[in-house]
């Protein structure tokens, strides 16, 4: 073998051996025995087929190379298993080789170590197989998950960190009435009214230990504009980008349950209110009927037991006590009856033309006599309605021009407000009653300088039997303002007041004039 050729083979880790036409080894390289099946037989003079049994059966092919009929022959990936069980692979290339001395043609067999290449190839194949298995396992599990998602009874939505919808299932499409295409790539706010609630939930989720957030009850809106209540649970999955999450919402329609809850809460509140009204009614009964009843009992007992001993004058006085106590109780009963028929919707609104200025003046006079002997009631009337109370030649014309109101209801309104103004203000104080008549409405303003109404009582003031905490020993039933409110409502009017404790109260009632159709 020429030395140049040997030099060329050296760095490539290529070993070789030369055989003659009988396959007897003529020459071998230093390490060729490493590749032999039986290393001790890989020596010059031995039959190469003993140490390299791979040559058996291909002798004809190899001889055709020696005879110049074929340029080369290659066997790739021959494996040897040594005792240490580490596989050794090599490629074998046979080419013609001319003996320098006798010019006879021999066969040069080159051996190239392919162990590293083969191991790498095998591991690549193994990896590729594993990857294929993984891909099919993933596909199977995706298919499985898709089936689960599709068959879920609950609505499922997946959004990006910014709340853009990425996935919806069939139940979500049914629930919100949108198709998949109408929801994908749209913001969650398209269906969730209070999206900030979910935004806060997402934020909490990230800040917290990433526990599943449950029972987020939010109002959603369907494609047809219907509002529904949905209870969501929310969790997140980390995306490929650090710090960015996709959010998974699983929602269930709880509209029915919510409506039931609202209904229950409403009836509980109603029940509570009724209980309060009942207890206020009984306490009013005890207070307001107790005193006059005692008076009646006491006076009648005196008359019965000492009737012969007392003077006629004294008798008249006791009888007067009985009469006024009975009148007071009858008035209370009237009020209770009036309120209950108003609450039952039985109080009727019967409008008729009323000369308001005259009506109010007369009412003030009667109040002065019955309640307001110790107060100055100042009445004044401003008319922006030219025809109001204006005397014309034709009586019928005048009647037509007067505003139509229900004078019976109006009497309840004004009597209660004026008598309260008297009752809750100090003796000798001024009460101002002003009537403003416009074309379409009348405004009644009653102002006193009395005890006022504490701010914390103001909200409940029109409830039946409700009395403010500062009434002290001033008698009352808590019925008057309820009656006033009902009467104002029947007129389609409004009542409002402003008050400051210790300074006084102003009630303003606005009554629109009834229009004949
Ligand atoms: P009452 O018979 O107790 O006067 P009302 O229904 O007429 O019942 O009034 C309800 C409550 O409103 C009164 O108990 C009182 O606390 C308060 N109130 C009504 N009008 C006045 C007013 N002019 N000044 C102070 N408090 C008033």
| pLDDT, tens digit (0-9, with 9 covering 90-100), for 195-235 | 777 777 777 766 666 666 777 888 999 999 999 999 988 88
Give the number of the atom of ligand 1 that is nearest the alpha carbon of residue 425: 24
Residues in the chain: 517
Can you give the pLDDT at residue 392? 47
Strands 105-113, 87-98: pairing kind: antiparallel
Give the number of the atom of ligand 1 that is nearest the alpha carbon of residue 477: 2
> Quick check: 423 and 370 in contact, CB under 8 A?
no
Per 3-state DSSP, the chain is made up of helix, strand and coil in percentages (nearest 5) of: 45, 25, 30
Total-model pTM = 0.56
Cα dihedral across residues 326, 329, 333, 334: positive or negative = positive
Q: Is the CB of 421 under 6 A from ligand 1?
A: yes
Q: Tell which wins on pLDDT, 236 or 27.
A: 27
Predicted confidence band of residue 279 (pLDDT cuts 50, 70, 90)? confident
pLDDT at 368 over 80: yes
pLDDT at 134 over 70: yes
Ligand 1 centre from 247 Cα, in Å? 58
End-to-end Cα separation, the chain, in angstroms: 132
Can you give the pLDDT at residue 331? 86
Predicted confidence band of residue 385 (pLDDT cuts 50, 70, 90)? low
Can you give the pLDDT at residue 373? 80
Please name the residue that has the structure tokens 């006076």: 299
Q: Is the CB of 468 under 6 A from ligand 1?
A: yes
Please name the residue that has the structure tokens 């809460």: 265
pLDDT at 395 over 60: no
Ligand 1 centre from 276 Cα, in Å? 18
Please name the residue that has the structure tokens 């710090």: 243
* Closest-CA residue to 354 (of 415, 409, 411, 402): 402
360, exposed or middle or buried, with CB in 10 Å at 0-12, 13-18, 19+?
buried
Cβ count near 109 (within 10 Å):
26
Specify the long-range contacts of residues 12-15, CB closer than 8 Å, at least 24 apart. 12/112, 13/112, 13/113, 14/110, 14/111, 14/112, 15/110, 15/111
Q: Tell which wins on pLDDT, 395 or 168.
A: 168
231-245, 286-300, 471-485: least confident range: 231-245
Work out the mean pLDDT of the chain and round it to a whole number. 88
């Amino acid at each position: 073998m020429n030395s140049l050729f040997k030099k060329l083979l050296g760095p490539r880790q290529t070993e070789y051996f030369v055989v003659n036409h009988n396959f007897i080894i003529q020459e071998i390289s230093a390490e060729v025995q490493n590749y032999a099946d039986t290393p001790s037989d890989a020596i010059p003079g031995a039959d190469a087929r003993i140490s390299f049994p791979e040559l058996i059966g291909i002798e004809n092919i190899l001889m055709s190379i020696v005879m110049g009929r074929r340029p080369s022959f290659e066997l790739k990936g021959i494996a040897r298993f040594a005792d240490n069980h580490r596989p050794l692979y090599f490629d074998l290339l046979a080419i013609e080789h001319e003996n320098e001395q006798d010019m006879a043609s021999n066969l040069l067999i080159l051996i190239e170590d392919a162990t590293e290449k083969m191991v790498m190839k095998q591991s690549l194949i193994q990896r590729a197989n594993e990857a294929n298995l993984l891909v099919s396992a993933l596909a199977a599990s995706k298919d499985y998950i898709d089936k689960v998602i599709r068959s879920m009874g609950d609505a499922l939505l997946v959004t990006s960190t910014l709340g853009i919808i990425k996935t919806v299932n069939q139940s979500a499409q049914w629930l919100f009435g949108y198709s998949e295409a109408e929801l994908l790539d749209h913001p969650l706010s398209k269906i969730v009214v209070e999206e900030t609630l979910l935004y806060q939930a997402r934020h909490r989720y990230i800040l917290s230990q990433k526990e599943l957030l449950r029972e987020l009850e939010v109002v959603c809106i369907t494609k047809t504009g219907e509002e529904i209540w949905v209870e969501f649970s929310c969790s997140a999955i980390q995306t490929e980008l650090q710090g960015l999450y996709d959010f998974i919402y699983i929602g269930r329609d709880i509209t029915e349950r919510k409506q039931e809850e609202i209904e229950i809460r409403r009836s509980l509140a109603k029940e509570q209110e009724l209980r309060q009204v009942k207890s206020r009614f009984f306490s009013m009964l005890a207070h307001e009927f107790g005193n006059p009843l005692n008076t009646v009992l006491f006076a009648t007992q005196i008359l019965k037991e000492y009737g012969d001993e007392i003077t006629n004058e004294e008798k008249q006085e006791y009888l007067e006590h009985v009469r006024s106590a009975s009148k007071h109780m009858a008035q209370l009963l009237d009020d209770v009856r009036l309120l209950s028929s108003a609450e039952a919707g039985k109080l009727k609104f019967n409008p008729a033309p009323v000369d308001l200025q005259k009506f109010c003046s007369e009412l003030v006079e009667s109040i002065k006599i019955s309640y307001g002997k110790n107060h100055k009631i100042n009445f004044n009337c401003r008319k922006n309605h030219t025809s109001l109370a204006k005397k014309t030649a034709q009586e019928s014309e005048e009647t037509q021009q007067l505003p139509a109101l229900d004078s019976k209801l109006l009497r309840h309104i004004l009597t209660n407000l004026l008598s309260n103004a008297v009752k809750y203000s100090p003796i000798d104080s001024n009460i101002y009653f002003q009537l403003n008549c416009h074309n379409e409405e009348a405004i009644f303003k009653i102002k006193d300088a009395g005890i006022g109404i504490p701010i914390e009582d103001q909200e409940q003031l029109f409830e039946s039997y409700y009395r403010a905490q500062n009434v002290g020993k001033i008698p009352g039933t808590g019925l008057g303002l309820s009656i006033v409110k009902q009467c104002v409502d029947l007129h389609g009017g409004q009542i409002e007041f402003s008050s400051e404790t210790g300074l006084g109260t102003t009630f303003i009632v606005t009554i629109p004039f009834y229009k004949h159709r």
